Every structure is written in structure tokens, then in C-alpha cells.
Amino acid sequence: MKKDVLLYTGGEDFAEIINGGGYFVDKTAYLKELLITDAIKNSLFIRPRRFGKTLNLDMIRQFCRLNYQNPGDKSYQQKLFVDNGRNLAVAGDDYKEFREKIMGEFPVISISFKTVEGTCFQQAVSQLIYKVGLLYDEFVFLTESSKQDSSGIENFKKINDFCKNKKDELYEPQNLTKAISILGTAIPQIASMLYKEYGRKVIVIIDEYDVPLQKAVIAKEPYYDDMLSIIRTLSGNI
């Protein structure tokens, strides 16, 4: 008896759709086009709304992401992309060399600004800091590594502590200034530590990067120029 195919609406988790038997328009062939060349340093996805950008970014994340505890173990990707009975393009024999080179080989930093908004600038920055704090929690294991220098570990812990304990106190000017500074350097710092740890290029994925700008325009106290400065600095430092 043929298994029913489920239709996920608004699904953004690649693994959930594949493992759950959901209907998926196979775009895995695009992975090779996107990732096989070193010529492309930055890629901008500008498809219309609801065209699956977030799902595609999650597909990229899950295909590339290194097993941090056991580098070289690609069993997760092998099961998700190859041994799933879905006959995805990237599972084909003609993609074997590509899989060996790219699949499960890179540290990945992934962050989404989808829910970042506020009635004023301080509230929006607070939400950005919260998002950054989640990244620091994800990579806190780096502070236990002998490959990292003591100054880097100390700075990591200070930023992580600020994100946890000061994100709701940005009404104080010194905290707001510190938060803005952190937003410009946080991702590069984590990327630098990941490179030092694994000696591999780091993939950075930023989803819904324009949402904070859209919300800044329609806020009760508009703050577009201030938010634009943050987004420019953040993206320019990567």
C-alpha cells in the first residue's frame, strides 16, 4: 500500500518534512551549484514571499553542518539526504564527489531575525541581543576547548552574560551602546573561534535579515536609520 504524502504548510524545518514523509519539491540539486565554487563569497536569496527561502536555508544548514563533537561523522546527513527513500537529486551517484567534499564538513552559524521588532529602538535591539545570546548558548562548548586562547574565552563569556542579564536593561545608555557594539562583532567572534577550533571555513546564514528594517519603519517611534546602521555593520563584518 502506498504511503500517503503529507502536505506541510509553512514548514521551515527540512528534517521534519523529510523524516515526516511530507511533500517536498526537490531543490537539493541547487546545493552543488551554490557550494561547489569558491568564487561566490556571499549569496543573497531574494525570492518572493512564501517561496520557501527559509526551508532552503535550513536545507543548506543541515547539509553542510559539521558534527562538532565528532568531526568526520556524516551519518546524520547520510540518513537525511541519501538513505531516506526519497530519491533526492543530491543522493545520486553523480553527486558522490560533491557529498564527500561538502556534506557535513563545515561549521554553520545560523540566525533568523524573523521575530525582531519593537515599538522603539531599544526594544528591537533587545530582541536582537536575545537572538545573539541563543547563538552563544549554542557554541558555549568552545569555552571548554584548549585550542581557544584565554582572552577569547573570557570575552565570549562576558558577551554571553550580557545577552542573558542585560538585554532587558537597554534603557540605560551604557547598556544600549554596549549592545550595539556586540551586534557588530558577535558573529565574527564566534566564526573566528570555530575556525580556530576546526580549521575550516565557516558558513553564516542570516534569515529574514530585512524584518527589523521593515518593523522599524512602522513602529510607533520609527527608528529605521538606527536599525539600518546596525544591519549594515553586522552584515559588513561577516
Do the Cβ atoms of 142 and 237 come closer than 8 Å? no
Strand partners, 65: 106
What are the sequence ranges of the domains in the chain?
14-102, 115-199+210-236
Is 145 strand, coil or helix?
A: coil
What is the Cα–Cα distance from 56 to 53, expressed in whole angstroms? Answer: 5
Mean pLDDT of the chain: 91
**Span 191-226, pLDDT tens digits:** 999 999 999 999 999 999 999 999 999 999 999 999
Taking 60 as the threshold, does the pLDDT of residue 230 lie above it?
yes
Closest of 201, 184, 130, 181 to residue 160, by C-alpha: 130
Which of 2 and 84 is assigned the larger pLDDT? Answer: 84
Which of 44 and 125 is assigned the larger pLDDT? Answer: 125
Secondary-structure percent of the chain, ordered helix, strand, coil, rounded to 5: 55, 5, 40
pTM, whole model, 2 decimals?
0.90
What is the per-residue pLDDT for 187? 95
Is 171 strand, coil or helix?
A: coil
**DSSP 8-class letter at 90:** G
Which of 2 and 195 is assigned the larger pLDDT? Answer: 195
**Span 170-190, pLDDT tens digits:** 999 999 999 999 999 999 999
CA-based torsion, 39, 41, 45, 46: positive or negative: negative
Which of 149 and 2 is assigned the larger pLDDT? Answer: 149
Percent of the chain at pLDDT exceeding 90: 75
Amino acid at 33: E
Confidence of residue 5 (pLDDT cuts 50, 70, 90): low
Angle (deg, nearest 10), helices 173-198 and 121-138: 30
Taking 70 as the threshold, does the pLDDT of residue 102 lie above it?
yes
Percent of the chain at pLDDT exceeding 70: 93
Closest of 129, 141, 234 to residue 193, by C-alpha: 141
**Span 112-168, pLDDT tens digits:** 999 999 999 999 999 999 999 999 999 999 999 999 999 999 999 999 999 999 999
What is the per-residue pLDDT for 11? 63
What is the per-residue pLDDT for 1? 40
What is the per-residue pLDDT for 6? 57
The separation between CA 137 and the C-alpha centre of its own chain, rounded to angstroms, equals 14
